[in-house]
């Protein structure tokens, strides 16, 4: 899907992270001036290797918890793509204070800096965790439950703050509730690694992956290029109805963890047949996990003209190729 967006100045917070670095690269490749703000707690410099020497790219090492860093980064900027956050439900359960400091305090700093420097639009990473204990399926933006983790609380507070800043200060905001994003540059290592890169790296190494529970928990896995599309569409829309609201960003389908494992083994076995024989271990369900996640993407389709190009299977084939060549 071709989206015409060029010759703008865009700040990407968390721009050295998985999603942020992919956004930085896409924006630079379209001929925009891109500023990346990152403190490298979870971001990686190697994620920026393709654009680090590009004259249209500027890296600012700073922290969204420091208002002065946010003000410096937003000066002269047309648009902000706010991706910086401490992700992971388990991490937030272990350390709710730091998650709150980054995800709430840092978010508020970025809103203030964007307001003070008259940023045209503030597009931010929201989260499917906001649906909490809501059992309705598929998830529609206007029906949410109570949060099930400190992380989910912080991401819901982001939406409330964005709404207040839109109404009080006239700052245009769009929140994108990401559903289980995966793809190139996603870190497979560490205690809080996402499930797809973790499973991929384990299977490639001949190690047995652990599926929490019986494997029937389901997710709306969303390939990174679908997320890039949603962000770009959020920047270009001029539809008043499309602004100052939130959208699900997903493929609009759900697959169980057992399905996921089958696909991974199938696609990896083309490269190494032995992977089909790697045993899978069953573990305990994780505290704070939502059993099922399935997004309605009708609102994004209607108002943003969102049209995701990659299903789980199509995205996994791309991801497998990237990890096989980079791990």
* Residue 151 among the catalytic residues: yes
Under the banding of pLDDT at 50, 70 and 90, the label for residue 94 is: very high
Per-residue pLDDT averaged across 63-89, rounded? 97
- Give the other-Cβ count within 10 Å of 126's Cβ: 24
Q: Where does the pLDDT of residue 212 fall: very low under 50, low under 70, confident under 90, or very high at 90 and above?
A: confident
Give the alpha-carbon dihedral of 322, 88, 43, 307, to 10 degrees: 50
Over residues 27-58, the pLDDT tens digits come to 999 999 999 999 999 999 999 999 999 999 99
Terminal Cα distance for the chain, rounded:
29
pLDDT at 2 over 90: no
| Active-site annotation holder among 131, 151, 247, 306 | 151
Superfamily of structural domain 9-181+224-252+290-309: NAD(P)-binding Rossmann-like Domain (3.40.50.720)
**Burial annotation 129-151 (CB, 10 A radius, 16+ → b, else e):** bbbbeeeeebbbbeebeebbbbb
Classify residue 170 by its DSSP letter: -
Predicted local confidence at residue 211, as pLDDT: 92
Rounded Cα gap, residues 109 and 68, in angstroms: 9
The pLDDT value given to residue 193: 80
Under the banding of pLDDT at 50, 70 and 90, the label for residue 232 is very high
Residue 172 has pLDDT above 90, yes or no: yes
pLDDT of residue 292: 85
Residue 53 pLDDT? 98
Sequence spans of domains, the chain: 9-181+224-252+290-309
CA–CA distance, 189 with 325 (Å, rounded to integer): 16
Where is 45: in which H helix or E strand? none
Q: What is the 3-state secondary structure (H, E, C) of 125-155?
A: EEEHHHHCCCCCCCECCCCCCCCCCHHHHHH
- Is 90 exceeded by the pLDDT of residue 191? no
User: Which pLDDT belongs to residue 213?
Assistant: 85
Mean pLDDT of 85-89: 92
């Amino acid at each position: 899907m071709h989206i015409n967006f060029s010759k703008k100045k865009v700040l990407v917070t968390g721009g050295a992270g998985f999603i942020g670095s992919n956004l930085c690269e896409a924006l630079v490749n379209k001929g925009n001036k891109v500023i990346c703000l990152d403190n490298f707690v979870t971001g990686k410099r190697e994620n920026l290797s393709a654009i680090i020497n590009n004259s249209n790219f500027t890296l600012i090492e700073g922290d969204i918890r420091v208002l002065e860093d946010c003000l410096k980064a937003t000066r002269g900027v047309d648009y902000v793509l706010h991706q910086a956050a401490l992700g992971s439900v388990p991490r937030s359960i272990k350390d709710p204070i730091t998650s709150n400091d980054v995800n709430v305090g840092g978010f508020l700093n970025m809103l203030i800096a964007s307001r003070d420097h008259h940023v045209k639009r503030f597009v931010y990473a929201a989260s499917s965790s906001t649906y909490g204990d809501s059992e309705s399926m598929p998830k529609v933006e206007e029906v949410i439950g109570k949060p099930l983790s400190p992380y989910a609380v912080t991401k819901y507070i982001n939406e409330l703050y964005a709404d207040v800043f839109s109404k009080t200060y006239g700052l245009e905001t769009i929140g994108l509730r990401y559903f289980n994003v995966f793809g190139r540059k996603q870190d497979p290592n560490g205690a809080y690694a996402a499930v797809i890169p973790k499973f991929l790296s384990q299977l490639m190494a001949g190690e047995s992956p652990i599926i929490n529970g019986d494997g029937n928990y389901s997710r709306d896995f969303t390939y990174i290029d679908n997320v890039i599309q949603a962000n770009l569409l959020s920047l270009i829309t001029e539809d008043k109805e499309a602004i100052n609201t939130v959208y699900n960003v997903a493929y609009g389908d759900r697959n169980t963890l057992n399905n996921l494992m089958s696909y991974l083994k199938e696609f990896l076995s083309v490269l190494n047949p032995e992977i089909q024989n790697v045993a899978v271990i069953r573990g305990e369900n994780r505290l704070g996990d939502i059993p099922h996640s399935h997004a309605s993407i009708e609102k994004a389709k209607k108002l943003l003209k969102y049209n995701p190009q990659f299903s789980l299977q199509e995205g996994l084939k791309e991801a497998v190729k990237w990890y096989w060549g980079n791990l």
